[in-house]
Amino acid sequence: MALGLSASKKAMVETGRQVLKDEAKAVLAAANGLGESFIQMVDRMGALRGRVVVVGVGKSGLVGRKIAATFSSTGTPALFVHPVECLHGDIGVLCPGDIVLALSHSGATEEVCRFVEQVVSRGYFVAAMTGNSSSRLGCLAGLVLSVPVREETGPFGLIPTASTTAAMALGDALALCAMREKGFGREDFALLHPAGVLGRRLTLRVSAVMFQGEDCPVASPETRVCDALFVMTRTRTGAVCVTDPKGILVGFFTDGDLRRRLLINSDFMTKPICEVMTRSPRCVSPELLADDAARIMAGGGFDNMPVVAPQSGALVGLLDERSLLGASY
């Protein structure tokens, strides 16, 4: 904590810290309580023929909307419906193969329980996410996912805080476990997220951001080091790719290599670059996801990497750290 804070400011920070601790405890309690009911729900989601229809009112309704959105984006079709609207006609949204996930921390929310009574009478399976397994909702449901929060955080112990945080986390756990059971992978995720930064991270390929053509620095093995530096300077890439007459990559030389050489001696500037280049450098494919390439570059401490055709080894471009950042992927 920063020094010099007034007593009221210190109390504010301590209150905020206690709220976070209380909510963390609630999530941990939910994690420790996972068992057969959780497994059954994930299995049902994995074998689902319809959708997960999520219902709730108030803060539980807001959490339910988020859970439904997470389900849908991770391979489990879902939608949120308001139980009151359903009791006035919207119950017709339910289709064969759907299951219902009803949220109510008390398990006694009248609108939710009345809706659940209706769908159970129609033969739909209902799972309840509640803090009271023996409640009216818990007794109506075919399966109970427990959110064991005895008291909310805050001065009154009444404001939905710890319970909503734990319920949202439990929804995330269901979504990610169902995703794994379905074999829902990165390619599937990318199809559902074509736009925005996340979409670009999942779809952008190296070929879209690499330097190529005249912008790709290339030299022959016989090129003098001093002449190769002019190529590096012209393209502003800080590296040069060395290729044989057929365009096959045979080496790589970077400004980092140059600096390390200069620390030893400077009499190599007129030598052929083949004598100082790195042979068999780490390369990437043009079809590799830019996000994966960025991880490789960060892990290896690389600023640049040659891009080569996987089968032939022919140079097709140069990937530069700046081009990845400029793509805002």
CA dist., res. 158 & res. 135, Å (int)? 18
Q: Provide the pLDDT for residue 189.
A: 79
What is 206-326's CATH topology?
Answer: CBS-domain (3.10.580)
Would strands 304-308 and 315-320 be described as parallel, antiparallel, or unpaired?
Answer: antiparallel
Q: Provide the pLDDT for residue 171.
A: 98
- CA 135: distance to chain centroid? 36
Q: Provide the pLDDT for residue 196.
A: 66
Of 223, 242, 225, 232, give the one whose Cα is nearest residue 313.
Answer: 242
Q: Provide the pLDDT for residue 202.
A: 74
CA dist., res. 66 & res. 171, Å (int)? 9
SS3 272: strand
CA dist., res. 133 & res. 143, Å (int)? 9
Q: Which part of the chain is CATH 3.10.580.10? A: 206-326
Each residue's pLDDT tens digit in the chain (329 positions)? 555 788 889 999 999 999 999 999 999 999 999 999 999 999 999 999 999 999 999 999 999 999 999 999 999 999 999 999 999 988 999 999 999 999 999 999 999 999 999 999 999 999 999 999 999 999 999 999 999 888 898 878 889 999 999 999 999 999 999 999 999 887 777 777 676 666 777 778 999 999 999 999 999 999 999 999 999 988 888 899 999 999 999 999 998 889 888 888 778 888 999 999 999 899 999 999 888 898 899 898 899 999 999 989 999 999 998 877 765 54
Alpha helices in the chain (DSSP H): 7-32, 36-46, 58-73, 83-86, 110-121, 136-140, 162-182, 186-192, 196-203, 206-209, 225-235, 255-264, 290-300, 321-326
Beta carbons of 101 and 54 less than 8 angstroms apart: yes
Q: Which part of the chain is CATH 3.40.50.10490? A: 12-184
Would strands 249-254 and 239-243 be described as parallel, antiparallel, or unpaired?
Answer: antiparallel
Q: Provide the pLDDT for residue 291.
A: 86
Q: Provide the pLDDT for residue 220.
A: 96
What is 12-184's CATH topology?
Answer: Rossmann fold (3.40.50)
Q: Side chain identity at 325, as an amino acid letter?
A: L
